Amino acid sequence: MEEISWQQFDVVELRTGTIIEVDNFPEARVPAYKIKADFGPEIGIKKSSAQVTDLYSKNELLGRQIIAVINFPPKQIGPFRSEFLLTGFYQEDRSVVLAVPERLVQNGAKLG
């Protein structure tokens, strides 16, 4: 495992957001959803694709608070432009369990 400095970690913008829209992403090579999340008034609404279809339905995701990396450059995924990285933990079967706040916090709050 490569070590990083506190200064490097401080650059990563891990923020809370609330999922406000979830759509199917039929063009994706691996099953995924298109997700929009509200990161509060300072950051606004951003979109991403997420390969979390194994464990979460669209209804289960809607309204859920998440933790995301919001300062990666946008990434083009087929016809879709992803603006944040939804965080989660891979299980042995490659399904993803979302990383979420333990309690409700303000959208846009920074993990640190």
CATH number at 81 reads: 2.40.50.140
The distance from CA 72 to its chain's CA centroid, rounded to whole angstroms, is: 11
Count structural domains, the chain: 1
pLDDT 10s digit of each residue in the chain, 112 long?
Answer: 999 999 999 999 999 999 999 999 999 999 999 999 999 999 999 999 999 999 999 999 999 999 999 999 999 998 999 999 999 999 999 999 999 999 999 999 999 7
Quote the CA–CA distance of 76 and 58 in Å, as a whole number. 22
Is 82 inside a domain boundary?
yes
- The domain in which residue 69 lies consists of 17-98
Report residue 92: phi and psi, to 5°: -55, -35
Is 112 inside a domain boundary?
no
How many helices and strands, by DSSP H and E, does the chain display? 2, 9
